[in-house]
Structure 1
Amino acid sequence: MNEAASPEFHSITYEKPGPHIARISLDRPDKRNAQDTRLLYELNEAMDLANADDEVKVIILAANGEHFSSGHDVKEAEPYAAMADHKLVGTWAGIGCCSSSAEAQMTREKEIYLGFSERWRNIAKPTIAQVQGLCISGGLMLVWPCDLIVAGENALFVDNTVDMGICGHEYFVYPWEMGLRQAKEFLFTSGAVDAREAHRLGMVNHVVANERLAEFTLELAANIARKPMFALKMVKEALNAAQDAQGRVSAMQTAFALHQVCHSHNLIKYGLLVDPSGLAHLKTPPQADQARMP
């Protein structure tokens, strides 16, 4: 593959830090790596780039700055119009994407939220999320599709969607990430889980000191990259199929439909996609001492 042909990115960085390894990093640190439309399309393009590169066996998803991601960029101007600047890849492509309506919202979320997360989950090569600081709601939609998660000691996983009057984010895999009862408490309380608790729940593979986070993740990727590529692809497909046999896909589709009902309810009742009574809780990011079950 000719690296000179790599596209120019604005909201992410793309590099090869070691043999057979690609590292994609979110690069909006001044915005706590909030995900606007351009960032998500660039991330998808970078994932495709790494997947198509025969020299790459393992993909690391990281983030520059103090925090991994504060979630969706709710302050993005003209989010529907922004989609017109990008090639839509989903089956709903082009349907009502540039007007403010329930159809437009569903199109956007099916494309760049649920659609991209599921696409990254099913990418052929092993992926590792490298997480530090806050990882809020939409941030979970980036790390949960990854095959492995390495967390820095200060990582805090947060979901505030129910505070906003929404029944979880669009990539609804909570029961598979933390178990059903823990997922219920996490969502009912708009909870926060610190790195150690996330490890106990089986949501992350390793917790390491923040100063060793990048080094440790790279070492893990290098270990995996020594394995035959075809075997890695096949074992990933087999494991994903086992999870899907448990009903993940149908459950996620049902949850996505209910998510859209929540948006429509809020639009009718408040004129907003979310319940405004919960917005006050979003002004100050949760701190580590508020983590659930420390």
Structure 2
Amino acid sequence: MIDLETRYQTILLESPADGVIQVTLNRPDRLNAMTVTMFDELESVARAVGDDRDVRVMVLTGAGKAFCAGYDLDEAEELASLPALGMLDRQERAARALSAVRAVPVPVIAAVNGPAAGGGLSLALMADIRLGSPAAKFNAAFVRIGLSAGDLGASWLLPRLIGPSAAAEIGFTGRMVEADEAERLGLLNRVTGADDLLDQTLTMAGQICANSPGGIRISKRALQANMEVTSFAAALELENRGQALLTRCDDMTEALQAFKAKRAPNFSGR
């Protein structure tokens, strides 16, 4: 079980609804910029969420006016002075943290409440679903500080999400993508109202929680894994194994009976 009383330096944990854990980046005075401490805490929290079978959805958001402004520039000044292996270690710690968020076995919804820049963009990409307020905006700020837009998974995830040409333009220019454009591109699933981002996020989380826990976990596994397989046959093989496994779980039987009890009389669809 996740201990909501655990105190972190850069993160707040709360449970706004049954089965939902909200992880809030909590450095509002620095626009929730990332630090080594934040990377370590994000990785720890993500692994704890994955181990807690009572958690059905994880919500990720930022405190204050920003989602995440990317790597803290005060720490970034140290990077050029680090030895090569020291820089590699720093980079790998950051990559482990974001990979752990993506690997959380339940759906992750990013509630993007403001700017998501650089590593903040990469962090938003780790979520399965992204909702944004009108204040949400994104940029691949890496090139603006002399680094590559190929950072923390962005070069793999962004082209798959919005297409290679759009990803190239955003990556090469470092320009800001406002909320409405992000929605058109598919970077955001939806732009919410100015004041109801978390309400809409929790409504969606509730819709997810209403479904079979095992079915949702296996669905996430299939959707992620089949982005990487090289053939339709391999995708079918993974799907077939997942369905066979789920028919041996109690919650499949319970979910089927509940669905049959409330379905419309003329609806026979699977």
Matched, 1:210 2:189: no
Q: CA contact under 8 A between 1:124 and 1:236: conserved in structure 2?
A: yes
The correspondence for 1:119, drawn from 100, 114, 119, is 100
Tell which structure's C-alpha radius of gyration is larger.
2
Q: How does 1:64-143 map to 2 (within 5 A)?
A: 64-76=63-75, 100-112=82-94, 114-143=95-124
| 1:155 match | 136
> Partners in 2 of 1:79 and 1:131 — Cα distance?
28
| 1:145 match | 126
Q: Secondary structure at the match of 1:161?
A: helix
Answer 1 or 2: higher relative contact order, Cα 8 Å, separation at least 6.
1
TM-superposed CA distance for 1:118, in Å, is 2.0
TM-superposed CA distance for 1:204, in Å, is 1.3
> Partners in 2 of 1:170 and 1:219 — Cα distance?
30
TM-superposed CA distance for 1:55, in Å, is 1.4
| 1:196 match | 180
> Partners in 2 of 1:2 and 1:150 — Cα distance?
25
| 2:17 match | 18
Matched, 1:53 2:37: no
> Partners in 1 of 2:99 and 2:221 — Cα distance?
13
> Partners in 2 of 1:77 and 1:127 — Cα distance?
28
- CA gap of 1:243–1:35, structure 2 versus 1, over 3 A, is same
- CA gap of 1:2–1:178, structure 2 versus 1, over 3 A, is closer
Q: Percent identity?
A: 29
| 2:8 match | 9
- What's the TM-score once normalised by structure 2's chain length? 0.79
Task: Write the deviation string for residues 266-285 of structure 1: whole angstroms up to 9, x where unpaired.
Answer: xxxxxxxxxxxxxxxxxxxx
| 2:246 match | none
Q: CA contact under 8 A between 2:131 and 2:189: conserved in structure 1?
A: yes
Q: How does 1:233-272 map to 2 (within 5 A)?
A: 233-245=217-229
- CA gap of 1:210–1:41, structure 2 versus 1, over 3 A, is farther
Matched, 1:30 2:11: no
Task: Write the deviation string for residues 234-255 of structure 1: whole angstroms up to 9, x where unpaired.
Answer: 11111111212269xxxxxxxx
The correspondence for 1:178, drawn from 155, 162, 180, is 162
Q: CA contact under 8 A between 1:37 and 1:79: conserved in structure 2?
A: no
Q: CA contact under 8 A between 2:98 and 2:126: conserved in structure 1?
A: yes
Q: Which runs of 5+ in 2 are unaligned?
A: 232-270
TM-superposed CA distance for 1:153, in Å, is 0.9
- What's the TM-score once normalised by structure 1's chain length? 0.72
Q: What is the root-mean-square deviation of aligned Cα atoms in Å? A: 2.0
TM-superposed CA distance for 1:9, in Å, is 1.1
Q: Which runs of 5+ in 1 are unaligned?
A: 81-98, 248-294
Task: Write the deviation string for residues 107-128 of structure 1: whole angstroms up to 9, x where unpaired.
Answer: 211222x222222212211100
Q: CA contact under 8 A between 2:28 and 2:65: conserved in structure 1?
A: yes
> Partners in 1 of 2:64 and 2:200 — Cα distance?
18
TM-superposed CA distance for 1:133, in Å, is 1.6
> Partners in 2 of 1:67 and 1:2 — Cα distance?
26
> Partners in 1 of 2:53 and 2:223 — Cα distance?
22
> Partners in 1 of 2:10 and 2:194 — Cα distance?
23
